[in-house]
Amino acid sequence: MENITVKRILCIEDEPEMIDLIRLILGRRGFEVHGATGGVEGTRLVREMLPDLVLLDLMMPDMDGWEVYQQMKADTATRNIPVIIVTAKAQNIDKVLGLHIAKVDDYIAKPFGPQELMDSVEKVLSQKSSS
């Protein structure tokens, strides 16, 4: 059990409280959670860290989540990093489902429960490791 490498998760979210909440939930399960408060910082950190998973908020003031997502997918170094979209807006979920071009790995709507977050993260990471 000891030799399992810690999975690094980057949470790109403009609300620091949300990053803290996610860090609390996932940190308990042994994940290493990093936060980026906005799309510009998030894009930079994705390239620097190459995390195992990105939790991406869609609604951010400086650069929205779709733009971050498109930049990740356009870069060969980051294109295979799985992305879970985290959004408060119900209409964005329709957008996620309608966007066949965007291969979003999963999405969760705010507010979400700790178990819902864990289930999504574990599902996406297990799909990545098995592919």
Domain boundaries, the chain: 8-123
pLDDT at 125 over 90: yes
pLDDT of 66 reads 87
pLDDT of 114 reads 95
**Alpha-carbon distance values, 79 to 27, 44, 59, 89, 102 (Å):** 25, 14, 21, 25, 11
Model confidence over 81-120: pLDDT tens digits?
999 988 876 656 566 565 555 677 888 888 899 999 999 9
CATH code linked to domain 8-123? 3.40.50.2300
pLDDT band at 64 (very low <50, low <70, confident <90, very high): confident
Count other Cβ atoms within 10 Å, centred on residue 61: 8
In the sheet with 106-109, reading across from the earlier edge strand, the strands are 32-36, 8-12, 53-57, 83-87, 106-109
Percent over 70 (pLDDT), the chain:
85
Q: Which residues pair with 35 in a beta bridge?
A: 11
Q: Residue 129 and residue 47: Cα distance in Å, rounded?
A: 20
pLDDT of 4 reads 67
Predicted TM-score (pTM) of the model is 0.88
Q: Residue 68 and residue 87: Cα distance in Å, rounded?
A: 14
pLDDT of 96 reads 59
Average confidence (pLDDT) over 30-53: 97
